[in-house]
Chains A and B, each alone.
Chain A
Amino acid sequence: MGDLLKNSIFFSDQQICYADILPPSEVRLRIEVAILSFLKNLSSSTPSVSDLPLISRKRSNSRVSRGLLTENARIFLSDSFSMKSLMNENSANSLIRVWKVMEMCYQILGQEKKVTQRELFYKLLSVSPQYFTSQLQANRSIQDLVALLRCSRYSLGIMATSRGVVAGRLMLQEPNRDVIDCSVCGSSGHAISGDLNLLENLIMKSDARYIIVVEKHAVFQRLAEDRLFNQIPCILITAKGYPDIGTRFLLHRMSREFPQLPILALVDWNPAGLAILCTFKYGSVTMGLEAYRYACNVKWLGLRKDDINQLIPEESLIPLKPRDHQIAKSLETSEILQDTYKEELAAMIQSGCRAEIEALYFNGYDFLGKYIGKKIVQGSYI
């Protein structure tokens, strides 16, 4: 505990380390505190150059919290710090980069604007070309700043694209605006905003019985076009691939607003699909301090190994690629993965194959809806 107080600028005494969503004025205050504390150390009677204490984003610092009475489990980062020091040759430059990003964000927040990561990179490039050479470097420095100030990227003024769409038996209303009925949104669905404040204040109403998370845009479009939600009362949601913050945030809100609705995931049968499912379910270490906030109790509806054996012909199976094996390895060693998922993963590796959801069309072009209905009725989700 003493270690923690000594290392943290903000004297947080909680073990879960999280990133707050703060208004611009508060973030600027935190930046000012960081600078003042640095200057204080520099001009004290025993001057010293402070190190930057950043919450460690390595796997070794990620912990799993399991609910005792519920099945929810989530990943969060604990209080282990990694220090960046000007005295240390290796981290000196990266420390300077963090300060540069801090300066840039301070300016941007002062103007009450938001920028994309790419724009931030170009600004940094034009102002301090000697420190920034690649987008990747800039992104890492941004994550460092998040770990230092303990506030989300979004609060720092960095906007992210939102890819998610939602459709089905859901009514959304921004305060003082019209109600949006997601069941008449057409096959493209209703776009999920990237503005987390807006999402937080949405008023939601639904008479659905299930929430179905779909991995791929093509499958989502097919289900929305066929109006699956008129046969099975549900809400369809997709992030069109790897989940972004906006989609996860909305899903999390829906799970709090409608806690009795099971959340079912429809993903391809491959390690990447399982990884996407796990990201929705547990959060991810790469999301750093923002991870824990958006985990929901998602269940795996399909595709699963029984479906592969019974419904999909051999010709539709595709061999696993090296990237799939990489993802599988990293999932295998994860302590958070439940046993049933581990078995499915093992079956994937053993067969050496993967299958896409579209492969179900072998059984007829209207089979997908029937498949989902049957699985829900049988309660066949893990």
Chain B
Amino acid sequence: MARRHLCYNRFELLKQIRELTRSIVEDICGGRSPILRIDQFSSYCADVSGNCCCSYDLPIRKEILVLQRESQVRRLDLLLRVLLIVQQLLQENKHCSKRDIYYMYPSAFKEQSVVDRAINDICILLHCSRHNLNVVSVGNGLVMGWLRFSEAGRKFDCIGSPNKTYHIPVQVEDVEDIFSLANYILIVEKESVFQRLANDQFCRQNRAIVVTGRGYPDIPTRRFLNLLVGTLHLPVYCLVDCDPYGIDILVTYRFGSMQMAYDSKYLRLPEIRWLGAFPSDSENYQLPQQCLLNLTTEDKKKAEAVLCRCYMEREVPHWRSELQLLLDRGVKFEIEALSAQSITFLSEKYLPSKIERGVHL
């Protein structure tokens, strides 16, 4: 069965935690090993046939934890420790990061990755998202444009001053009263491009909401975008560098990341459109030859890895062929290269004309 959330309420979660613990205790008292069945999800795999589980949001396998095996005993022990901390957080409605949790029992956990896995397992067992457990991370995203919303009583009014930048709130579940006059949402990969648009007063000329995740988008940014799209039903465009990492970021927005595979249904943007930069843009916009940089070995490895993912051929073959073209040509370029001749080229010509003419993939 595809994964879905069963509850968001912390009292419901506390009840679930109590029931889970009770059933484990009952099993042990009855002389049986408790059996925990944990689904494993994956955002993508190397299967190009198009019939893999990833395509249907189904778990790729089930892991079964029992007390008969030593390695699983440890994993169960750590899971219960993290669960104890989560219970305390939920009872007092306090928040913690994954790192903070690691430091509470450093000698038991020994490594951060152990805590990360335990948290993922708990989310899967309790059918919820990480933020429902009050485990949070720092927020890195920025937003500006024709948008107004409030979060926990605080008002974010970007409509009054469309070039004012705000941090995307970390507690996305507290965002309400979303109101917008924008015609589309534009996601940019890099903070410097976001700054360029702010400096050029892009939002004064264009009715848009501009968002950046400052690189690979974090969870609050992706949840916020999902919320905006779900509420406002606006088209979403994405502007990334013309290099393998930019395209990786694009597909992260579109399909989700492997780390959060179990939650990807709530974190991805299936309607996102790739606005640029395409390899063909370097000719269409007469980019000077010296602004095209050679692909490094890491770039090539990254490109090949992304090309192999099952969803590339199945869902976005047109994106896949652009990436293949990029790899074949052996050169990449950044968005800033487009400003080489004229600083305002990006905000005054490139973006408005592409959006107007519908030049996107």
Is B103 within 8 A of A316, CB to CB?
yes
A161-B195 CB under 8 A given contacts A186-B171, A221-B170, A361-B104: yes
Is B106 within 8 A of A365, CB to CB?
no
Is A365 within 8 A of B94, CB to CB?
yes
Measured between beta carbons, the chain A residues less than 8 angstroms from B100 are: 222, 358, 361, 365
Partner of A116, one of B89, B94, B105, B196: B196
Is A191 within 8 A of B97, CB to CB?
no
Measured between beta carbons, the chain B residues less than 8 angstroms from A360 are: 103
**Minimum CB distance partner of A188 in chain B:** B167
* A362→B103 CA distance, assembly (Å): 6
Is A186 within 8 A of B151, CB to CB?
yes
A189 within 8 A of B: yes
A114 within 8 A of B: yes
A50 within 8 A of B: no
Measured between beta carbons, the chain A residues less than 8 angstroms from B152 are: 186
The segment from A117-125, A251-259, A324-332 that touches chain B is A117-125
Is A218 within 8 A of B107, CB to CB?
no
B341 within 8 A of A: yes
Q: How many residues of A contact B (CB 8 A)?
A: 42
Is B106 within 8 A of A359, CB to CB?
yes
**Which of A123, A188, A194, A221 has the most chain B CB atoms inside 10 A of its CB?**
A188
Partner of B339, one of A111, A123, A217: A123
Q: Smallest CB–CB gap between A326 and chain B, Å? A: 25
**Minimum CB distance partner of A130 in chain B:** B290
Measured between beta carbons, the chain B residues less than 8 angstroms from A200 are: none
Partner of A122, one of B97, B99, B137, B337: B337
Measured between beta carbons, the chain A residues less than 8 angstroms from B103 are: 316, 356, 358-362
Q: Smallest CB–CB gap between B146 and chain A, Å? A: 19
B336 within 8 A of A: yes
Is B104 within 8 A of A191, CB to CB?
no
Is B154 within 8 A of A126, CB to CB?
no
Q: Smallest CB–CB gap between A136 and chain B, Å? A: 14
Is B167 within 8 A of A189, CB to CB?
yes
Is B106 within 8 A of A225, CB to CB?
no
A218-B334 CB under 8 A given contacts A125-B290, A126-B291, A185-B154: no
B343 within 8 A of A: yes
Is B343 within 8 A of A111, CB to CB?
yes
Is B138 within 8 A of A365, CB to CB?
no
* A366→B91 CA distance, assembly (Å): 13
**Minimum CB distance partner of A318 in chain B:** B106
Is A119 within 8 A of B336, CB to CB?
yes
28 residue pairs from A and B, CB less than 8 Å apart:
A113-B343, A116-B196, A116-B336, A118-B336, A122-B334, A122-B336, A126-B290, A126-B291, A126-B340, A129-B288, A185-B154, A186-B169, A187-B169, A187-B171, A188-B139, A188-B167, A191-B167, A194-B195, A217-B138, A218-B97, A221-B136, A222-B96, A315-B107, A316-B103, A361-B100, A361-B103, A361-B104, A362-B104
